[in-house]
Structure 1
C-alpha cells in the first residue's frame, strides 16, 4: 500500500500548496500540513478495512498521525526558512497609472519573501527605460492601467525579453481557456459562454449532494446544540432566512443560524456586518461566526439546488446593487450557482476589494473542470474553521 499512500500524500501536498502558504501565513502552513496528515491517516484507516493484509490497529494509525505532525510540521517549516534564505529574490517593478498606484501594489507584493519590489508610473515606461531594466527582473502591471497602455508596455517588454505579470482584468479573466482557431486568415479567440461539459456539471452536482449529506450527518449534533443555545439566549426563531441572488439572478432564501438579535436591521437597513464588534451579534452568534458553524444550514440550500458547495458567495439584492454601481461586471458571478465556499473565500480575505473577488470568482467560472477545482477548494476550506480572521 506504500506507493498508493505516497501518491496520495503528493496529491495532497500539491492541493494544499505546501510550503507556499508559509510565505505569508506560517499558521496557515501548519494547518495545511496537519490536514494533509489527517486525511492521510483517515485514508490509511479506510484502506485497513478494505485490504485485510493492511489491517493495523486504530491506535497505531493515531500514533503515526501524531508522530508525522510532530516531525513534518517543523521539518517543512525549517525547509521553507532555509530555502527562503538561500534562493535569490525575484525583482519585479510594479507599474501603475500613477506613482501612488504603483507604490501601493509594490507594498502589497513586498509582504511575500519572494519579491524585491520597486514601482513606477506608466508615464515613466519608455523604450529607453526598458533597456535599463535589470537582467532577470520582471514587470507587474496593475489592473487599473488602461488597455492601450497595457498593450504598449506588454509589446515593449516582450521585445526586450522581459517577463510581465498582469493583475488580471475582467476581460483577461474571461479569455481564460479561450480556443484559438484560424477563420478567413484571422486568428480568432473563441470565448464560450459556458465551456463546461454536461459530464463535468453532472459530477459537480453529484459532489454537491454527497458532500451535503455527509456534512449534515456529521453536523447533526451542531443543529441540536446550536438551536437550543439560540433559543435559550434570545428565543425563536433559531434560523434566519435571508434573500440572496442565485443562478442567473434568481432570488432565493438562504438558511443560516440566527446570530443577531431580533430586528437587527430595523434601524440600519441592509448593511455589512462590522465583525465581532457589531453590537447586534448575540453571544451564541459570536461563537457560531468564529467557528463558521452559522453556515452549516446552507447545505440544505445545496440539496434543494439553490446553491452549490463551491461557487461565488451569494450577495443580498440590496447590497449587490451598490456593488454593481462600483463594479459593473459584478453580475458575471451569476453565471454559476452560488456556493457556501469559493476561491475568494479560500485565497482572499473578508475585506478583499470587490473587483479582486470578482476576478477570483471568474477564474473559477472559466476553469476547465469545475469538479476538480471543487475538490481542491473543499479541502482547503476545512482550514477556515480554525482561521476566523480570514472570514471577518
Structure 2
C-alpha cells in the first residue's frame, strides 16, 4: 500500500519528538548505569525543562520545513537540523535560568545537543529514503501554449520527489484544451498550468479540475499575485475585495521597524570581529577603499546609497558604465569572490537598516539606472518599489543570483502579499542563516 506524503511527514515529526525526549533522558540513564547517577533534583528539573524544549523544537521544525520529505537536498535538511539543535542548545541554558531549573545538569544540555544532531540526521535520512523507495514516480503534465515556457517549468518540476518524477508537456492550441486534458486525466498524478493562458482560460481549466477532484498547480502571473490574501468586505449583498499591493498594517510597520533595529544592532555587534578581519583582507588584497557606496532605488523610488564591502577592483565601471555583474565577472577580486559566495559583503548594509533605508527582509534593491533596462524585459518590475527593500527576502531565500527577473518579481510580490508579515520576516531571517553554508544558492 502506497502511503501519502502527509503520512511520512507525520512519521518524521513523531520520530523527531521521540529523539528530542530520548536525547535528554538517555544521558541521565547512562550516568546511573555507570554508577554516577544524577540527584533526584537533577532529574526533576530535566522533566520540567523538556516540555519547553519540545515546544521550541516544534516551532523550529516548521520554520526550517523539516517535515518535507522527498524534495529537499539532504545537506540543506541537515543544516536545518543543525541550526534547530544549536538554537535549542542556546535556549537550554537560558530556559534553565528563567525557569529556575538550575538543577538541570549542563552536561545533559551539551550531550543531548550532540545526540540530537546525530539521531535527527539519521531519522531524516532513513524516512526520506523509505519514502522515495516505496513511492512510485510522480507523473506530472504541464499544460502550456508556449513550448519554451513549458520546458522551463518542466525543468523546475523535475526536482519533485527527489527527481523521481516523470514530467510531460501538452501544448494547447485554440479551444481544444478541455478535450486534451480530459484524455490525460487517468494518466497523470498532477497537472500544472503555466502562465501562458489568459484569465478566462485559466478559470475554465481550474473549474474543470475542481469538479473532478484532481490536484492542479497554477504558475501565477502578476494578476493572480495581486489577488492574493485580499481584505474582504460585504456591503449589503455585494461582496468586495480590497486589493493592496502590500498587506501590512500600521502596527505591523512599527513592530517590523523595531525588529529591524534590534536585529541590526545585534548583528553588527556579533559580526564586529568579522568586519575587522574582512576590512584588513580587502586592504591586503586590493588596497583601499574597504567599503563601496552605490546608489539604489528604495521604497517609492527614493534613491539612497547602500554600504557594502568592496568586492570588485577600484573604478570597476569606469569604462563600462553601469552593467549587471555576472558569476565569473573578471572585475571581482579574490577576496570579493569569497565575500560574495558567503554573503559577508552584505554585513555593512545593517547600517542602512538602522538609517531606515533598508529593512532586514524585503525585495533586493536595484540600481536606478538598471531599473529601466530590467523593466524593458520584465513589465511591472517597478511594483517592487512599493515595498521597502531589504538585505534578504524571498528571492534570495528561494532563488539564486541568476534567477530571471520576472521570477524574482513574483517572489517579491508573494512576500508583499503575505497575510502576516512579521511571522514571514522571522521565517526568512532564520532560513537566511543557512545561505551562508549553501554556496549553490549564492552563485
| TM interval, short-chain normalised | over 0.9
CA distance in 2, matches of 1:173, 1:340: 23
Shift of 1:158: 3.0
Shift of 1:226: 1.4
2:173 maps to which of 123, 139, 144: 123
Count of equivalent residues? 391
CA distance in 1, matches of 2:192, 2:236: 35
1:9 maps to which of 26, 49, 57: 57
Q: What are the ranges of 5 or more consecutive residues in structure 1 without an aligned counterpart?
A: none
CA distance in 2, matches of 1:136, 1:283: 49
1:243 has 2:295 as partner: yes
CA distance in 1, matches of 2:151, 2:276: 51
1:156 has 2:156 as partner: no
CA distance in 1, matches of 2:157, 2:293: 40
Q: What are the ranges of 5 or more consecutive residues in structure 2 without an aligned counterpart?
A: 1-48
Q: Relative to structure 1, is the Cα distance of residues 112 and 194 closer, same or farther in structure 2, using a 3 angstrom cutoff?
A: closer
1:358 alignment counterpart: 409
CA distance in 2, matches of 1:305, 1:48: 37
1:306 alignment counterpart: 357
2:36 alignment counterpart: none
CA distance in 2, matches of 1:21, 1:241: 43
Larger deviation, residues 132-141 vs 355-364: 132-141
Larger deviation, residues 152-161 vs 356-365: 152-161
Larger deviation, residues 126-135 vs 139-148: 126-135
Shift of 1:151: 2.6
1:66 alignment counterpart: 114
Q: Which 4+ runs in 1 deviate beyond 6 A?
A: none
CA distance in 2, matches of 1:286, 1:138: 41
1:195 alignment counterpart: 247
2:277 alignment counterpart: 225
DSSP-derived class of the 1:73 partner = helix
2:71 alignment counterpart: 23
Q: Residue 70 of structure 2 contacts residue 132 of structure 2 at CA under 8 Å; is this kept in 1?
A: no
1:111-130 Cα shifts (integer Å, max 9, x gaps): 22174422101228533333
Q: Residue 69 of structure 2 contacts residue 131 of structure 2 at CA under 8 Å; is this kept in 1?
A: no
1:98 maps to which of 137, 146, 154: 146
DSSP-derived class of the 2:160 partner = coil
Larger deviation, residues 151-160 vs 10-19: 151-160
Q: Relative to structure 1, is the Cα distance of residues 325 and 99 closer, same or farther in structure 2, using a 3 angstrom cutoff?
A: closer
1:375 alignment counterpart: 426
1:245-297 Cα shifts (integer Å, max 9, x gaps): 1111100000001111111111222222222x322122222222222111100
Map of 1:262-341 to 2, 5 A cutoff? 262-275=314-327, 277-341=328-392
Q: Relative to structure 1, is the Cα distance of residues 22 and 342 closer, same or farther in structure 2, using a 3 angstrom cutoff?
A: farther
Highest CA radius of gyration, 1 or 2? 2
1:134-155 Cα shifts (integer Å, max 9, x gaps): 1773321112323333233223
TM-score (norm 2): 0.83
1:77 maps to which of 125, 132, 136: 125
Shift of 1:316: 0.9
Q: Residue 19 of structure 1 contacts residue 77 of structure 1 at CA under 8 Å; is this kept in 2?
A: no
Q: Residue 9 of structure 1 contacts residue 36 of structure 1 at CA under 8 Å; is this kept in 2?
A: yes
Q: Aligned Cα RMSD in Å?
A: 2.1
TM-score (norm 1): 0.93
1:32 alignment counterpart: 80
1:41 alignment counterpart: 89
DSSP-derived class of the 1:28 partner = helix
CA distance in 1, matches of 2:97, 2:215: 52
Q: Relative to structure 1, is the Cα distance of residues 194 and 29 closer, same or farther in structure 2, using a 3 angstrom cutoff?
A: closer
Shift of 1:186: 4.5
2:193 maps to which of 105, 123, 141: 141
Shift of 1:131: 3.0
Q: Residue 308 of structure 1 contacts residue 339 of structure 1 at CA under 8 Å; is this kept in 2?
A: yes
Q: Residue 21 of structure 1 contacts residue 28 of structure 1 at CA under 8 Å; is this kept in 2?
A: no
CA distance in 2, matches of 1:348, 1:55: 46
Shift of 1:39: 0.9
CA distance in 1, matches of 2:374, 2:105: 55
CA distance in 2, matches of 1:73, 1:200: 37
DSSP-derived class of the 1:233 partner = helix
